Amino acid sequence: MSALIAVENLTKRFGSLVAVDGVSFTIGDGELVGFLGPNGSGKTTVLNMMSGLLRPDAGRIALDGTDVGGMAADSIARAGMIRMFQLTRVYTEMTVIENLLTAGFALGLGKREATERADEVLDDLKLLAYREAFASDLSGGQQKLLEFACCFMKAPKIALLDEPFAAIHPTMRQVLADYVRRTNAAGQAYILVSHDMPIVIDLCPRVVCLAAGSVLADGPTDQVLREPAVIEAYLGPNH
Amino acid sequence: MLSSMLVSGLITGTFYALMALGLTMIFGVLRIVNFAHGEFYMIGGFAYVLLYHNLGVPIAVALPAAVLAGGTLGWIVEKLLIRPIYAEFGGRQQGRDEYAIIVTFALSILLIAAMTKIVGPWSLQGPRLIDGPPLLLAGVRVSPHQIAALGIALAFLFGTLYLLNYSLWGRQIRAVAQNRSAAAVMGVDVGKVSTIVFATAGGLAALAGALLSNMISPSPDVGAFPAIKSYVIIVLGGLGSPLGALIGGLLLGVIESLGAIYISFSYRDTYGLALLVLVLLLRPNGLFGETRREV
Amino acid sequence: MMSRICCMNKLAYTVAITAAVFATAYGAQSQETFDVGVSTILTPPGSVIQGIQVRQALELVADWQNEQGGVIGKKIKLVIADDQGTTEGGRTVAERLITRDKVSVITGQASSNVVLSSLEVAKKYGIPVVNVNGWASGIRTAGIPQVFSPGPYTTRVITATVDTLLALGSKKVIGAFDNTDAGFSLEKEMSKQLKERAPQIQYRSIILDRAAKDYLPVVLQMQAEKPDVIVSELIAPAGYILMNQLYDQGVAPTKDTIFFEMGGMTDNPDFWKNIRGAGKGALAFGHYHPKFDLPAIGVEFRKRFVERYKAEPGRLSFQAADALFVIIDAAKRANSTEPAALTEALANTDYVGTRGKITFDKTPGPTFNQWVEVPYAIYQITAVDQKLDDTTLLKQSDGPLEVKAIVAP
Ligand SMILES: Nc1ncnc2c1ncn2[C@@H]1O[C@H](COP(=O)(O)OP(=O)(O)OP(=O)(O)O)[C@@H](O)[C@H]1O
Ligand SMILES: [Mg+2]
């Protein structure tokens, strides 16, 4: 049986800097995997390559057995690997519902379907009150929730979340975490990049830890977090 | 006199806006300036005139056919020439702007040369949409043809703006214009959006060429003038802003009209540029331009 | 925008250079040719329709002469180059024709700015230039001995116009000119002559941008002023737009306002493809009319032109033909195709061309090296799609104006 995601020997260089250096991992159906690693360790770059925004210098990315390395970003998204950015990217010149309908239409939903689904997701994420508001009038946290909502207009095979919990209000953080937990229980697969240790420990049964572009550790969360190399990478050698 | 000038300026401005709208949409979605935009106008004018004069096609067919010709040309150009610009991962590769400039320049020259080969350097006046005695509008005689042309132009202008704002594809276009990579990552088919935008822009420019062919006879080089006006307008209105194209077009029409009378006609083309400099000093991103641009 | 223009120029040059290389390679086979440089408008921004007319006439005359054995035993070879009707184009084309193509003489120029920009080049290399259609006074007042003008010139055109205005008894006149060398020259002369010869006429002139595509503001202003006559010097395509807008606004030609087309565009091959009702009733100025009494060579030229091009020749066709005939005549008399000998022979021209006897005035000033008596016609167009033949000839050169023959539209 092939894994949902199979990444092999993924490499990306920026000039002389090797940002991602031979990264390999696999993710099975319905898995929720945390991505850890200090700043600059290459987490976002891995996600950029997986979502088609950067062309890998070497390596393979397979989604459900098909090679998606080199495919255009929009095709990858429609193939079921959807991505949320570290810095929020919602369409500020559109209303909340328009943002969602745009995403829904892009993923092939009809207008009615999309509207129904949008209301459902808005309700789940406690944004229904802002349905007609312009995205530019939302708070940073609300915008993040909106972008998150857009990713779920049509359930993806896997969602790649880059720091969804950073810089958002604790109540919203809770809403988001609950949503992830609930959908994961129902079989939704995730990669969750986060520096927020308590949440990662709480949500993710398994983590991959990157350092300087390479996989330092990969396994059950409690085990990985106890590895000396991981602690050193995170807290510095003098700890 | 003032009201006549306003009427005259608004009429001209409407056609300017029709040209500029497509150009600004292309810029919005692809971040390139289409230097062959005037040639879409020229193709539309010639399609309309030649179908009518040489093939005896009725006006009611020739006009839509001209729009279709411009649209088809836009579609082909996007697929063949513009695709390589963004085919590579969100289009961040080196030399992208240079490529776009060279390709659209070359296309412009090619189309002018091809048309000169086909029809010769002559100019050929287009038929009126309808005939009839002129009406007096604030001291300006407006022929039924001009009213019809104006009506069609306005319908297409506002129709396009409406579709951009409220249709599903319109939203996809705006999404790509606001943030191409975010839209792509969300699954928006950026290739298809670009094709639609190029075809729409081609159709709108061709429509302007056909509607104006009675006032300005198409000749192979006729596209230079509307193109130059629309470059001024899209910078004036804010690059990539459809509303800016509309307001900018009307504003340019009125300013030129007033300047021609109250200052001097021999400098007519410079009033737009003067206005542009003024606006850019006060609002560096144009009237409706975004103050911040995603990198 | 600048780069757009500059790119187009570059392309045109490249094409012209390629064409010239071909022409040179081809011509190198036969040693004995009389190389005549032709600088004319083949691509915009100049009036291409003028360039085409010039080129057609020159090719006809060259072939005709070559049929008869050429000139002093040499075949005439036209080396044609595109000056685009621009000042830079004129200068570079002249320079190239002389230094690279080694032509003995240059002709074909269809616009004043091109002739003006080639003056210094002609003088520097001592190569004669026979100007086809440069009207501006500056071409003559520069006093360059190598430059000859058998075509129209500002003082004659304006004298004819002012004569006409006086004969019409006009009281209020507006003159429209384009922002070119010819336009400025005519505008200046018109103001001067009206002040001297007809101070009773209330006159105002306007300079219009020849690249503009909409003259409505000016047309509305003219409408408010209610002139008796609107004189326009604009050439195609700007002239077409102005005429149509004047007509659409009901300004001219009407029973109250005469439209006088002074730029000489009513016999353009595409005139009726761009002008409908606006043409009916217009008075027109030209340097040829089928009702002229043409010398034998003119009759023959017209016949050959119609045979070859299936169209009536216009005034520019005659102007161009005369330019080349004058060159041929000079070469024969000098028994040489050397530039210096040609220049000397040209100065002593006394030759019956297509429309009359051509000589060049030696008085310094606005008629220097000019065919002073160059014929002209003033005629009225009385119907849409009218052939030049059927227009009403109102005045032939210095004859009287048949005011009674004018009909209100
Ligand atoms: N487009 C780029 N050009 C050059 N260098 C880049 C580019 N993108 C990322 N880098 C570099 O690659 C390395 C990895 O960056 P990346 O953003 O993937 O790290 P990260 O793990 O996501 O960090 P953070 O936790 O701060 O988000 C860093 O050194 C970064 O400076
Ligand atoms: Mg990151």
Domains of chain B from N-terminus onward? 2-282 (1.10.3470)
Q: What is the pLDDT of residues A136-152, one digit of tens each?
A: 999 989 999 999 999 99
pLDDT of residue B123: 85
Q: Which residue has the higher pLDDT, A234 or C274?
A: C274
In terms of domains, do C298 and C276 share one?
no
Q: Do residue C164 and residue C114 come from a single domain?
A: no
Question: Is C80 in the same domain as C141?
Answer: yes
Q: How many domains is chain C built from?
A: 2
A166 CA to centre of ligand 2 in angstroms: 11
Mutate to test the pocket of ligand 1, among A10, A11, A13, A14 (most ligand atoms within 8 A of CB): A14
Domain shared by C355 and C384, yes or no? no
- State residue A178's pLDDT score: 94
Q: Please indicate, yes or no, if residue C5 is contained in any of the structural domains.
A: no
Report whether the peptide linkage leading into residue A237 is cis, meaning its omega lies within 30 degrees of zero: no
Give me the residue from B141, B227, B268 closest to C249, CB to CB. B141
Confidence (pLDDT) at C17: 53
Cα separation, C365 vs C153, in Å, equals 12
Closest residue by CA, ligand 1 atom 16: A42
Per-residue pLDDT 10s for chain C (409 aa) are 344 444 445 555 555 555 555 554 444 444 589 999 999 998 878 888 899 999 999 999 999 999 999 999 999 999 999 999 999 999 999 999 999 999 999 999 999 999 999 998 999 999 999 999 999 999 999 999 999 999 999 999 999 999 999 999 999 999 999 988 889 999 999 999 999 999 999 999 999 988 888 898 899 899 999 999 999 999 888 999 999 999 999 999 999 999 999 998 998 888 999 999 999 999 999 999 999 889 999 999 999 999 999 989 999 999 999 999 999 999 999 999 999 999 999 999 999 999 999 999 999 999 999 999 999 999 999 999 999 999 999 999 988 999 999 998 8
Pick from A51, A73, A102: CB nearest B171: A102
The pLDDT value given to residue C2: 40
In a domain, C21, yes or no: no
Pair (C69, C186) in one structural domain: no
Residue A1's pLDDT is: 46
SS3 per residue for chain B: CHHHHHHHHHHHHHHHHHHHHHHHHHHHHHCCCCCCHHHHHHHHHHHHHHHHHHHCCCHHHHHHHHHHHHHHHHHHHHHHHHHHHHCCHHHCCCCHHHHHHHHHHHHHHHHHHHHHHHHCCCCCCCCCCCCCCCEEECCEEECHHHHHHHHHHHHHHHHHHHHHHHCHHHHHHHHHHHCHHHHHHCCCCHHHHHHHHHHHHHHHHHHHHHHHCCCCCCCCCCCHHHHHHHHHHHHHHCCCCHHHHHHHHHHHHHHHHHHHHHCCHHHHHHHHHHHHHHHHHHCCCCCCCCCCCCC
The domain spanning residue C134 has which CATH number? 3.40.50.2300
Show residues of chain C in contact with B108, CB under 8 Å: 4
Residues C143 and C164 in one domain: no
Same-domain check for residues C134 and C239:
no
Q: What is the model's pLDDT at position B293? A: 42
Contacts of C48 in chain B (CB under 8 A): 121
Instruction: Report which of residues A37 and B96 the model is more confident about.
Output: A37
Query: Is residue C20, in this structure, part of any structural domain at all?
Result: no
Q: Containing domain of residue C394, as a range? A: 155-286+376-405
Most confident of A24-28, A232-236, C45-49: A24-28
In chain B (295 residues long), the average pLDDT of successive 10-residue segments reads: 84 94 93 93 96 94 97 95 70 70 92 88 89 87 91 96 92 90 89 95 97 92 90 91 94 89 76 85 82 41
Residue C36 sits in the same domain as residue C84: yes
Give domain status of residue C3, yes or no: no
Residues C245 and C110 grouped into a single domain: no
Q: Compare all CA atoms of chain B with the CA of C42 and give the residue at the minimum distance.
A: B121
Query: Which pLDDT score, from 0 to 100, does residue C301 have?
Result: 97
- Residue A196: pLDDT band with limits 50, 70, 90: confident
Residue C296 CB neighbours (<10 A): 9
Of ligand 1's listed atoms, the one at least distance from the Cα of A41 is 21
Q: What tokens were used for C250? A: 């009901």
ipTM of the shown complex: 0.84
| Pair (C127, C185) in one structural domain | no
C12 in any annotated domain: no
Q: Which of A35-39, A229-233, C155-159, C274-278 has the lowest mean pLDDT?
A: A229-233
Whether C345 is covered by a domain: the verdict is: yes
What local confidence, expressed as pLDDT, does residue B89 receive? Answer: 46
pLDDT at A228 over 90: no
Cβ-based contacts of B181 with chain A (< 8 Å): 53, 73, 89
- Predicted pLDDT at B49: 96
Position C99 in a domain: yes
Residues C177 and C252 in one domain: yes
Specify the residue with its C-alpha closest to ligand 1, atom 29: A40
- Contact assessment for residue A102 and residue B218, using Cβ atoms and an 8 Å cutoff: no
Q: What is the spatial distance between Cα B46 and Cα B219, in angstroms, rounded to a whole number?
A: 8
Q: Which ligand approaches the C-alpha of residue A45 most closely?
A: 1
The DSSP result for A138-193, as a single string, is S-HHHHHHHHHHHHTSS--SEEEEESTTTT--HHHHHHHHHHHHHHHHTT-EEEEE
The answer to whether residues C388 and C353 belong to one domain is: no
Closest atom of ligand 1 to A12 CA is 12
Asked if the structure places residue C117 within a domain, the reply is yes
